[in-house]
Structure 1
Amino acid sequence: MKNTKMKAVECMVLVFLTSFLAITNALMDDSSNEAPKILEGPVHIMVTEGSLVILKCRTSGTPKPKIEWEKDDTKLKGMRFETLPSGDLKIETAYFFDNGVFTCKAENEHGIAKESARLIIKQKTRVFVNSHLKEIGVGQTAILDCNVMFDDTLSVEIEWLKDNKSIAYDIENKYIKGNDNSLSILKTVGSDSGEYTCVARTDIDEGKATTTLVVEDVPNAPILKEINCNGLKAEISWMPQGDNRSPILFYSIEYNTSFTPEKWDVAVDKVRSSYTKHTYFMNPWGVYSFRVLAHNKLGQSHPSENSATCTTQPDVPYKNPTNVKAEGTDPTNMVISWTPMPEIEHNGPQLHYRVSWKKDTADSEWESKDIFDWKENKVIVNDQPMFQKYLVKVLAINQLGESKIPAKEVIGFSGEGRPLLAPSNFKMMKLTSSTEALLKWDPVSSESLQGHFKGYKLQTWTAEEGEESPREVLVDNNVNEVLFNQLKPYSKNFVRISAYNSLFDGPSTVISFDTPEGYPSNVENLESYVLSSSSILLTWDEPLNKNGRLTGYRIYYEAVRGPFAGLRIEGHHIRDPKLTSCILKNLRPGIKYRIYVTATTAMGEGQEYFIESTTLRRDRKSKEPSVPDFKWEPLTSIMVNWQPFNGQPTGTHFFTQYRIKGETEWQNTHEEDEQDFLIVGGLRRDSVYEFRVVSVDGKYQTASEIKEIKTL
């Protein structure tokens, strides 16, 4: 029984302990449960398009919260958005449409925590240069461009680097930064070559672009390594010393001699850039020195140092004088001339010339004359028959003997005489226009020219011009007709023809004939005067060359807008050639017009002459015209010429008032709106009248001063 009670007590204690432990464990378990907290959340961030973005979201909580990201209250989806194990959001490449508010949301069974931040996307800064390689000659100004694209909501700063080092503009005065971000480098030298980088920085990014500048110069002077003199051969070798960033294209070799020590001549013009030696053949009896120059696209280098000298032994001449010719300066002589040989071609001492000549006939013998002054260049052979054909030659001789090459025979002539005959049967065959006619003649014999037959000379003039300064046309010697176009219209034209040789014109033949009317030249002194918004007065003088009887004038006009002209309209056809003025009416206000005036003859319209003038704008306030003036001609009637032009607004037309002196009432003529003059008839003879003109513009009128005129 006792054991039974004991066991019951033990069971109760065990139950109690078990319950106590369960309650304790439960209490302990409640203390480990925790709602989510965001320990380090996203912050506002500003990046450029294309950037990698990491938005932080570091949390705590038990159990571990689930992390979700939202943008503008919408759950993020898509492979571009990756939630990392840490809870951070990774956006591999940000685009403009990613602008917005991103929210990190942490959640477990005990609660939710959120934090938000704004992501701002800006345009990426980009830098462009026009060329990644710029080549320029030394001494020139290099301009390096820098074009920048950036977000205009940001500020940008531009910096230039040379070989990755900042440029100190205050120290290096040759560098100038332009308002367009360009970099100018003044008076460039070789050391300015390098990499130039334009860097554009904003608060959030930077862009850069690099240009390589190559400042090219002429090559450095070569080093002349060696010269070997071997008889008449000079073997020259050299070494280049740098091309200064522009490849050597070729070399040239120059020489001078003891004859001309201050003068350097070209021995070899171009030696390939891959060669560094050359053999030059010298002339005998010379002391030579050589130098070498390198060439690239910018020019030639300074010459190398002069070589040691090469001395050659004398020999006979290898050539004879050049440019040998023979011609006379008058009918009885022949001048044989040549180009003297320079000393370097003498090949030995005491050079002189043997000049020989003979008639070009089988039985003629050579005559000769030695010229011992090597600088001489001619011989005059006198007492020769006129214009005879000769063979001439000039031989070079020095102390060792005659030239190795025979002297070349050249054909020459003694002096020319005056031609003997004039062209016969000289006729005007047909007038083809008022300035052109077909002329024909019989050819003269070449023997009558007594010289080289050059051709025919035609000269023309009119009676008014006189023959002292004729117009002239030259015709080949194998021609005996010509379409002659130097005539004057509506005139008696004289034409003279003669054959000519190198020295003289021969006798001439003269014919004359009348030409028909032609087209007149342009009018002279064309002027325009704007009268109103719809009218312009034109005045001009007759053409200088009427080329016929003037029949009148034609006036055309066209509106001009910028470089374009409108339809051409005929404004007037004046059939009285004495009228040299007219008024163009019914024009549009404020329009520029190009106005043409041509004179006419029976042939038609002559050359155009134009002037441009702009009508007044219609919004000009109407007011009285300025005071006009007038002049007159005292005929049986009085012709009054209106002159309203004094720099002030003028009227559109006018009329004339007149009265006998002493009377009070004015008589009015009709209003004239076509011309700038009118004729007042019906006046008393031998009487004194008072006249005035009245300018009219709409309802306004202005009278001129009164002038007294006495009739005939």
Structure 2
Amino acid sequence: MCKILFKILFGLFYLAYQLWALDFKGEGTTPTNLVISWEPMSHPNPDLHYRVYWKRDFLTHDWNIEDISNLKQNHIVIENQPTFVRYLIKVVTVNQLGESNSTFKAVYSGQGLPIEAPSNLTSTETTSKSTILHWNPVSRKTINGHFKEYEIQIWNNIESDIRKLYVENFYTSELLITDLRSDAVNFVRILASNRKFQGSASETIEIKTPSHQGTVQTFDAFPLGSSALLLRWTQPIVVDKLKGYKISYEEIYGYSYIQSKPEWTLDIDNPQTNEAKLIDLRPDTKYRVRIAVNRGDSEVEKYVIERRTNSNGSIKPDPSTFAWKLLDSNNDNTTIKVIWMPNVDGRPGLNFIVNYRIKGSSVWSSTNLITTDTSVVIPELPLNQVYEFIVVSVDGEYKTESQIREISTHIEASFLTITNVILIAAAIILILSIFVGIFWRVRK
């Protein structure tokens, strides 16, 4: 009796052991089919066969079942199916004991040609190099497949080569373009693609750009810490009537919605300034930043960029460098301007402090934490001294000191600047040329 029971139990165990769980998948290879495939058993057993289940993913649809006795077969093709619709599928192994354990997977039939192009393509805020494109996204149903990207094609009346930009988020409905050809007619169109096919293009629009000579030549932004951006630019080619710069910024929400258009946030009245700092920003957030050249009239030439702040959290900054300038001096004191130069290609920090002392002294003086600017003015430093300066980059609780630099406030040292040396040399040459001219006249 025990032997019989043992044989029965062993047989059931063996049958259960035979039921392999299969790795399977489903996808369409043409717009009108569904291919269900699986990994065949590595050790086929004549007592087993495959069973394939499939149906449209609707409660009212019945299951289709196909038994396959050829253990080397690894797929079936179901023809004449609608394009890109959802199915439930399952592939199991079967013997006298039943089916292997498996769960259903949701898959799609083949992808087809997208039948709708993005509509209402327009542009706003066009400058010599940039514009903001806007469009109406296509409907999900008209993609006829898994959405891949929007493709934006750009060319102009001077260069025939087509440049392409790609937007991978389906819900995006606007994009800042920053590399248009200046003083030209630029052409733009947009189309939508799935993973198999590319749809038709939208209507082509023309974007006429002005000459770039009136705006700043370059404009960039670098994250400082997680709540600030350091802005840097170069002066316009045309500096006639240049009075300064106006800067504004706005936070980009979601995929395309932007906070209400701001007024100019910073008004810089020094034409020689080439950097500014935006503070109190949100971490890990994209901002659209504009700079405009102020020439005292209503027509301002803008430059627009988009940058993202760093994610939340403080990190130890890299050592920075710094520049300095001797400003106004009187008989006893002078003023020094220190310019913080953080490592924007690494870990720049967020703010800074300047430590300074007379060389040889054991007592350091310090500025307050500088949070709103990248420079600080230190007044009333006695003349005819050598000072040691250190700039400390700060990010939260982390601080990193720069190397010590010596700055002399001796009158002779401040007088013999590079500019003064050049002027003195020019004066000497001029005087020598006058004497040489007189000498030759006398000899004649």
TM-score by length of 1: 0.28
The structure with the greater share of residues assigned to strand is 1
Bigger radius of gyration among the two: 1
Q: Which has the higher helix share?
A: 2
* Bigger relative contact order (CA 8 A; separation at least 6): 2
